[in-house]
């Protein structure tokens, strides 16, 4: 198994560090009810940030990501990050999207 990064990426981001992990034979032993509770709490907290920022792109972490992607020539408008998309949905309110706990098929 190999993980390869184009050298140009390190020219754009000289301090970039990429931690890599490989998980094998993962078995779900998590408390799915507890995970669901944490997810809903995070969703509600994210939704409450809307008035502070006006839109997801204005959130400092999303803005930094968009700036980094723009430096590589990737359009944040055309290819928003998953975090930006989730934050945008949270700002609108309503139920969070369902999540699938790691290793639990069909949930």
Task: Kindly state the average pLDDT of the residues 15-42.
Answer: 81
The pTM assigned to this predicted structure is 0.67
> Which tokens in the block code for residue 20?
């890599």
> Which tokens in the block code for residue 28?
């779900």
What does the alpha-carbon distance between residue 91 and residue 76 come to, in Å, rounded to a whole number?
A: 18
Question: 31-70 pLDDT, tens per residue?
Answer: 677 778 888 999 999 999 999 998 999 999 899 989 988 8
Three-point CA angle 5, 64, 79, nearest 5°? 65
CA dihedral 51, 52, 57, 63 (to 10 degrees): -170
């Amino acid at each position: 198994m190999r993980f390869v990064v184009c050298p140009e990426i390190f020219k754009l981001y000289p301090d970039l560090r990429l931690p890599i992990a490989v998980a094998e034979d993962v078995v779900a032993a998590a408390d799915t009810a507890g995970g669901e509770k944490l997810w809903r709490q995070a969703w509600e907290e994210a939704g409450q940030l809307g008035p502070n920022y006006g839109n997801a792109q204005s959130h400092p972490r999303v803005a930094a990501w968009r700036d980094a992607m723009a430096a590589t020539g990737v359009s944040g408008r055309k290819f928003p990050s998953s975090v930006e998309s989730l934050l945008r949905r949270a700002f609108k309110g309503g139920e969070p999207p369902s999540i699938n706990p790691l290793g639990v098929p069909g949930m």
